Structure 1
Amino acid sequence: MCTWMTEQIGITGAARGVPDWLRVTRANVFYDHPVSAPYDHALIIDFVNPDAGVGARVGVELSAASAWELVRAITAALESPEAQADLAAEGRAPVRSELETLP
């Protein structure tokens, strides 16, 4: 059964679209039937900028195993001294502390 449960988070960044880079302000994350990936279900991440119209979107569909590897890789990258300094400058806790507070 599909729940259509979507996590929406505000983000600040850029993504490579067609034909150029676009500013992204939101990420929609959900686990459901993919459009193109060859899986029954996939983790789907849409990076969007709603203010820029329907075409301001970059979508990614990942297998569950690939999504977990991406989480691991992101965590490792954010544990770097440079990222930790940036997080501290933004008043955020270190990556491991943030992960420990997740439900």
Structure 2
Amino acid sequence: MCTNISETVPAAGAAKGGAGWFPVTAANVGFDHAVGSRFDHALLLDFADPSRGPSARVAVELDLETGRALVAALQSVIEAAERSGAPV
């Protein structure tokens, strides 16, 4: 069953693919059929620069438990970074 659950947000960053580093201008998050992992359905994360074509893309498939842990870790690190006083 296709879920067609997806969201895209603008992004500012960089990712390393097969051809080296490239800018990341979009982050795609979804939940649907897995392609490269053993899961029937997975959280799908794509970090990409669509203007550079399909080679400027890093894709990750995660189970829901890992996704929840990743969200918690991201929130914890973001809060620590904000408290640190380091320039952002």
TM-score, normalising length: structure 1: 0.76
Alignment partners' CA distance in 2, 1:53 and 1:43: 22
Aligned positions of 1:11-26 closer than 5 A: 11-26=11-26
Question: Relative contact order (C-alpha < 8 Å, sep 6+): which is higher?
Answer: 2
User: SS of 1:74's equivalent?
Assistant: helix
Question: Quick one: distance in 2 between partners of 1:48 and 1:11?
Answer: 9
Question: Larger C-alpha radius of gyration, 1 or 2?
Answer: 1
Q: 1:85 to 1:79 in 2, by over 3 A?
A: closer
Name the structure 1 match of 2:6: 6
| Structure with the larger helix share | 1
Gaps of 5+ in 2: none
Where does residue 78 of structure 2 map in the other structure?
Answer: 78
| Partner deviation per Cα, 1:18-38 (whole Å, 9 max, x = no partner) | 131111100111001111111
Deviant stretches of 4+, over 4 Å: none
Aligned-residue Cα RMSD (Å) equals 1.8
Counterpart of 2:49, as a letter, is N
Identity %: 42
* Deviation string, structure 1 residues 31-73 (Cα, Å, up to 9, x no partner): 0111111111100001110111121100000000000000011
1:85, CA displacement in angstroms?
Answer: 6.0
Aligned length: 86
